[in-house]
Amino acid sequence: MIASGKRISKPQEDPQAWSQAMDLKQGLRETDAFQKNVDFAISWNQITVNALNGFSDLLDQAIQVGQRR
Residue 54 DSSP one-character state: H
Q: What is the pLDDT along the chain (69 residues), one digit of tens a residue?
A: 545 566 777 777 788 888 998 999 999 999 999 999 999 999 999 999 999 999 999 999 999 999 987
Of 16, 21, 19, the residue nearest 6 (C-alpha): 21
What pLDDT, on the 0 to 100 scale, is given for residue 1? 52
pLDDT value of position 4:
58
Exposure string for 2-24, b = 16+ CB within 10 A, e = fewer: eeeeeeeeeeeeeeeebeeeeee
Measured distance between the N- and C-terminal CA atoms of the chain, rounded to whole angstroms: 83
Q: Where are the domains of the chain?
A: 35-69
Distance of CA 38 to the CA centre of its chain: 4
